[in-house]
């Protein structure tokens, strides 16, 4: 045992040795199932090796891998508290084995564990340094066995989930795995972990949940559903956002998780019911300017904005919650006018959603702030492309819908008018084959064209100069199913539009032919 623990191979040596033999890999992974106290060292070592293997091998091909990793999450000892209406267990009913529970046997076991602890101490410290990228803690605080194994387990799951869809399927099928992971997102006063150790396990669980909620395709939908339906998830995430002692990295991970699960309509509404979540996201996005000293601060701000943009899609309630924030429209306007590409498109998306779903609640001062963004938005449309262009035209279109007279007044008095109208037709012609990157670009152009002509019929003559009828006919002939969705993750479309593209084309043609 001692010589086994003293061996400290490099990562390259481990991989070159282990990857040559599936049987060797299987033996290492099966060591995870050695739950006897005397095998604690071997189990920890096997978990650490599996952590490295998971980054380079499809270890899920070893039967039972995910289940064995899931079992590692059970080693965090918690003080159990039963429900008096459900719990039938009583201390006096516990059956004690007269041999196993003698003082002499217990003392011998304690002595053995103390010796084993000394042998493991230096080994664990060295291994801890190898995984410092995934968890961080003060050097003078060592994890206990019960803390290290769950953290290692979540590192393994994170690596497995980054490999391929088949592994994610296995993860989704593993009994109780996701609830176990979510359990570590809670600050618990009834645990035997120190505060530092709890933060390590918290961050580990957030990182895994961020990974799982970002998976694309059908399996991603399944994983997000299983995660979002957990009854304590949102309250736990809310606590992390509201805790001033939470690290910027942890808050960023929470914002990413919220952004990812908000793809689902019901989940968006559930999140909106916990209004403190939206409040904290708004504060992180709009009012963090004076505290942004590190890259982590900038990342938190951007991801918080992305979460807000996702939460306000097709949600009147969430838009109204956000509008409760003081000077919200002014702050969004400022973000758009400042030439900083890190946040402008996120701010534009949030503002666009507010215009679309809460325009009846916008005050006169809000509309004035909106009008002040118009010139900058039109100028940026002239040079943007891809998803950024789709966002900007979407904002322009919704601005036109909310303040039509002011929109056309500014446009008519601006030298950019002819270039802007031509640009819309040119983009329409250049995007006859929609992509997953920006599936709605033709849709937002059609909406902009329709809003302009509904506001003032003479815009039909302007568009006629640029042969928009021909462009509309080509769109009609090339309508794609992909254009029914707001966004894609992998090949799966989400957030389906209620108005079909064919109806928009028909309306635009009708307005063009109106006398």
- The mean-pLDDT minimum among 144-148, 233-237, 375-379 falls in 144-148
Flag whether pLDDT at 287 surpasses 60: yes
Residue 403: inside a domain: no
Can you tell me the mean pLDDT for 254-268? 96
Residue 170: inside a domain: yes
Amino acid 401: pLDDT: 96
- Count other C-beta atoms under 10 Å from residue 38's C-beta: 12
Can you tell me the mean pLDDT for 147-155? 81
Amino acid 292: pLDDT: 64
Amino acid 509: pLDDT: 96
Amino acid 309: pLDDT: 96
Which range has highest mean pLDDT (53-57, 109-113, 116-120, 238-242)? 238-242
Flag whether pLDDT at 105 surpasses 90: no
Q: Which position has the higher pLDDT, 277 or 189?
A: 277
Can you tell me the mean pLDDT for 500-513? 95
Give the DSSP H or E segment for 430: helix 417-430
Are 311 and 272 in contact by the 8 Å Cβ rule? The answer is yes
- The mean-pLDDT minimum among 41-45, 202-206, 391-395, 500-504 falls in 41-45
Amino acid 294: pLDDT: 79
Are 424 and 445 in contact by the 8 Å Cβ rule? The answer is yes
Can you tell me the mean pLDDT for 193-208? 85
pTM: 0.81
Amino acid 171: pLDDT: 87
Flag whether pLDDT at 114 surpasses 60: no
Amino acid 490: pLDDT: 77
Amino acid 267: pLDDT: 96
What total of structural domains would you count in the chain?
Answer: 1
- Count other C-beta atoms under 10 Å from residue 303's C-beta: 24
Q: Average model confidence (pLDDT) for the chain?
A: 81
- The mean-pLDDT minimum among 151-165, 403-417, 500-514 falls in 151-165
Beta bridge partners of 489: 492
Give, to the nearest 10 degrees, the angle between helix 248-261 and helix 265-273: 130
Flag whether pLDDT at 51 surpasses 80: no
- What is the distance of C-alpha 286 from the center of its chain? 19
Flag whether pLDDT at 381 surpasses 90: yes
Can you tell me the mean pLDDT for 34-54? 72
Can you tell me the mean pLDDT for 156-182? 85
Residue 317: inside a domain: no
Amino acid 70: pLDDT: 78
Chain length of the chain: 515
**Domain that includes residue 48, residue range:** 1-76+113-178
Amino acid 362: pLDDT: 94
Half-sphere CA count of 446, side-chain side, radius 13 A: 28
pLDDT band at 90 (very low <50, low <70, confident <90, very high): very low
pLDDT band at 81 (very low <50, low <70, confident <90, very high): low
Flag whether pLDDT at 368 surpasses 60: yes
- The mean-pLDDT minimum among 111-115, 226-230, 316-320, 407-411 falls in 111-115
Q: Is 134 helix (H, G, I), strand (E, B) or coil?
A: coil
Flag whether pLDDT at 235 surpasses 90: yes
Amino acid 134: pLDDT: 40
Amino acid 60: pLDDT: 53
- Count other C-beta atoms under 10 Å from residue 202's C-beta: 23
- The mean-pLDDT minimum among 138-147, 174-183, 248-257, 277-286 falls in 138-147
Residue 493: inside a domain: no
Are 163 and 66 in contact by the 8 Å Cβ rule? The answer is no
pLDDT band at 109 (very low <50, low <70, confident <90, very high): very low
Flag whether pLDDT at 290 surpasses 90: no
Q: Which position has the higher pLDDT, 450 or 84?
A: 450
pLDDT band at 116 (very low <50, low <70, confident <90, very high): very low
Flag whether pLDDT at 94 surpasses 70: no
Amino acid 98: pLDDT: 35
Residue 293: inside a domain: no
Residue 184: inside a domain: no
Are 403 and 367 in contact by the 8 Å Cβ rule? The answer is yes
- Count other C-beta atoms under 10 Å from residue 359's C-beta: 16
Amino acid 387: pLDDT: 94
Q: Is 268 helix (H, G, I), strand (E, B) or coil?
A: helix
Amino acid 88: pLDDT: 56
Amino acid 97: pLDDT: 38
């Amino acid at each position: 045992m001692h010589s086994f623990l003293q061996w400290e191979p490099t990562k390259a040596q481990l991989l070159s040795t282990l990857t040559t033999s599936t049987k060797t890999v299987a033996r290492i992974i099966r060591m995870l199932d050695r739950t006897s106290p005397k095998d604690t060292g071997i189990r920890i070592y096997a978990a650490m090796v599996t952590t490295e293997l998971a980054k380079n091998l499809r270890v899920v091909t070893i039967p039972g891998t995910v289940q064995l990793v899931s079992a590692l999450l059970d080693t965090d000892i918690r003080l159990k508290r039963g429900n008096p209406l459900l719990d039938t267990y009583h201390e006096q009913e516990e059956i004690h084995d007269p041999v196993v529970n003698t003082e002499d046997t217990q003392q011998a076991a304690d002595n053995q564990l103390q010796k084993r602890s000394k042998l493991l101490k230096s080994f664990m410290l060295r291994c801890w340094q190898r995984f410092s990228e995934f968890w961080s803690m003060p050097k003078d605080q060592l994890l206990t066995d019960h803390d290290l194994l769950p953290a290692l387990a979540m590192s393994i799951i994170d690596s497995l989930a980054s490999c391929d869809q088949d592994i994610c399927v296995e993860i989704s099928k593993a009994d109780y795995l996701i609830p176990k992971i979510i359990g570590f997102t809670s600050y618990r006063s009834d645990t035997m972990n120190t505060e530092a150790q709890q933060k390590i396990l918290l961050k580990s669980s957030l990182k895994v949940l961020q990974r799982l909620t970002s998976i694309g395709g059908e399996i991603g939908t399944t994983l997000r559903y299983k995660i979002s339906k957990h009854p304590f998830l949102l309250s736990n995430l809310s606590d992390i956002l509201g805790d001033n002692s939470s690290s910027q990295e942890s808050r960023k991970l929470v914002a990413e998780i919220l952004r990812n699960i908000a793809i689902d309509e019901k989940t968006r509404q559930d999140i909106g019911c916990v209004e403190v979540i939206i409040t904290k996201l708004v504060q992180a996005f709009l009012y963090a300017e004076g505290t942004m000293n590190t890259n982590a601060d900038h990342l938190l701000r951007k991801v918080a904005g992305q979460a807000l943009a996702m939460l306000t899609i097709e949600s009147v309630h969430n838009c109204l919650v956000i509008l409760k924030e003081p000077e919200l429209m002014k702050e969004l306007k400022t973000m758009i006018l400042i030439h900083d590409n890190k946040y402008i498109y996120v701010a534009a998306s949030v503002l666009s959603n507010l215009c679309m779903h809460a325009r009846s609640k916008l005050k006169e001062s809000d509309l004035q702030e909106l009008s002040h963004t118009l010139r900058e938005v039109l100028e940026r449309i002239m040079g943007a492309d891809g998803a950024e262009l789709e966002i900007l035209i979407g904002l322009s279109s919704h601005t036109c819908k909310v303040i039509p007279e002011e929109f056309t007044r500014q446009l008519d008095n601006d030298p950019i008018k002819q270039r802007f109208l031509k640009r819309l037709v040119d983009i329409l012609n250049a995007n006859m084959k929609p992509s997953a990157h920006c599936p709605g670009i033709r849709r937002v152009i059609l909406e902009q064209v329709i809003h302009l002509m509904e506001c003032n019929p003479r815009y039909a003559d302007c568009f006629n100069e640029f042969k928009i009828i021909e462009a509309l006919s080509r769109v009609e002939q090339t309508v794609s199913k992909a254009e029914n969705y707001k966004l894609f993750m992998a090949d799966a479309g989400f957030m389906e539009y209620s108005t079909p593209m064919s109806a928009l084309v028909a309306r635009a043609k009708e307005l063009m032919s109106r006398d």
